[in-house]
């Protein structure tokens, strides 16, 4: 009975077996392997001709072997290849040439505070030569270094003058790289206008400069006011049309006053649909910072601020 089953499987017309494969590939492949096992085929070929086999072994005539070969080549092997195929080289992303680490941040901070005027710019140029991108320089190195200096200042490990000198030198690095003729990151088709300001009274506003650079490269017309009063901010927004007000907030104690100021600014704004976005040090501390301040959105870093502003205003245009 076993030999009969094997021969019937081998002699079945190829077209019908191919249709069975397409209708139920797993069943068809499993059935072919069960009926024509490798061990059975090897046993049929290796059994000595002068000694009868202990049990009946399957026999394949030439036509059946040809059909089996075509079945394996046309159906089974391609399906196995599909099951175990390896992604093409084009689908594998190349590893970044440069990966910023905390050691880079520490070294840059040290050079900015304790080195000479050219130490920090020279160090960053060396990292660029190693493959560091503009985004890595701005976000992973300059911004991180500024935050680290602020942390050391709060811990009384850096004096106010040391942090001021260090941030001034980071600002120089930022300007050196911002002056390069680089393509825009991508943004709205028509240039939008934003006013970027820090909470009045904030002593260090280097992070705001990073945000301004990203908005500029994103195609925005940027007015950056690191040191400005609420009254000046209100007058500027009342006299000129701005699409976005970005506020850097560094203290939680001033949030009630900030919420009141944002409400006054909205009432006086020349743009009734002004979008207010908050960020800065408090964005990493208070997840609900936007709600507390009465703002429309909150961004944790410079690139996120640009992406969120474009998405917010783009959605507003669609619903207008």
**Per-residue model confidence (pLDDT) at position 44:** 47
Domains of the chain, first to last: 2-85 (no CATH), 102-178 (1.10.1240.10), 193-318 (3.40.50.280)
The rounded average pLDDT for each run of 10 residues, N- to C-terminus, in the chain (320 residues) is 36 45 43 44 47 50 60 53 45 69 94 92 92 87 88 87 88 77 49 92 82 89 90 95 94 92 96 94 90 94 90 69
**Per-residue model confidence (pLDDT) at position 184:** 47
**Per-residue model confidence (pLDDT) at position 4:** 31
What CA–CA distance (Å, rounded) separates 198 from 142?
Answer: 18
Q: Tokens 């825009």 identify what position?
A: 184
The model carries a pTM of 0.59
């Amino acid at each position: 009975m076993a030999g009969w089953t094997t021969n019937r499987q081998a002699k079945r017309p190829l077209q019908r077996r191919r249709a069975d494969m397409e209708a139920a590939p797993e069943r068809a492949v499993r059935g072919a392997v069960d009926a024509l096992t490798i061990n059975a085929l090897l046993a049929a070929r290796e059994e000595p001709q002068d000694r009868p086999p202990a049990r009946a072994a399957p026999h394949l005539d030439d036509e059946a072997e040809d059909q089996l070969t075509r079945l394996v080549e046309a159906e089974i092997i391609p399906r196995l290849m599909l099951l175990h195929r390896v992604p093409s080289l084009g689908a594998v992303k190349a590893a970044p040439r440069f990966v910023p680490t905390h050691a880079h941040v520490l070294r840059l901070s040290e050079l900015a505070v304790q080195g000479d005027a050219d130490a920090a710019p020279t160090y960053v140029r060396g990292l660029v030569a190693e493959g560091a991108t503009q985004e890595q320089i701005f976000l992973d190195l300059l911004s991180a270094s500024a935050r680290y200096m602020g942390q050391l200042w709060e811990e009384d490990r850096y004096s106010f003058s040391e942090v001021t000198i260090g941030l001034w030198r980071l600002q120089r690095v930022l300007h050196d790289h911002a002056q390069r003729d680089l393509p825009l990151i991508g943004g709205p088709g028509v240039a939008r206008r934003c006013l970027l300001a820090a909470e009045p009274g904030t002593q260090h506003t280097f992070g705001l400069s990073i945000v301004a650079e990203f908005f500029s490269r994103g195609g925005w017309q940027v007015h950056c006011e690191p040191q400005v009063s609420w009254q000046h901010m209100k007058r500027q927004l009342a006299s000129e049309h701005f699409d976005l007000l970005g506020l850097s907030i560094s203290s939680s104690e001033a949030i009630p006053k900030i919420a009141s100021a944002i409400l006054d600014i909205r009432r006086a704004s020349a743009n009734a649909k002004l979008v207010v976005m908050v960020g800065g040090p408090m964005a990493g501390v208070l997840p609900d910072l936007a709600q507390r301040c009465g703002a429309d959105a909150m961004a944790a870093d410079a690139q996120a601020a640009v992406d969120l502003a474009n998405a917010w205003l783009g959605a507003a245009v669609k619903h207008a």
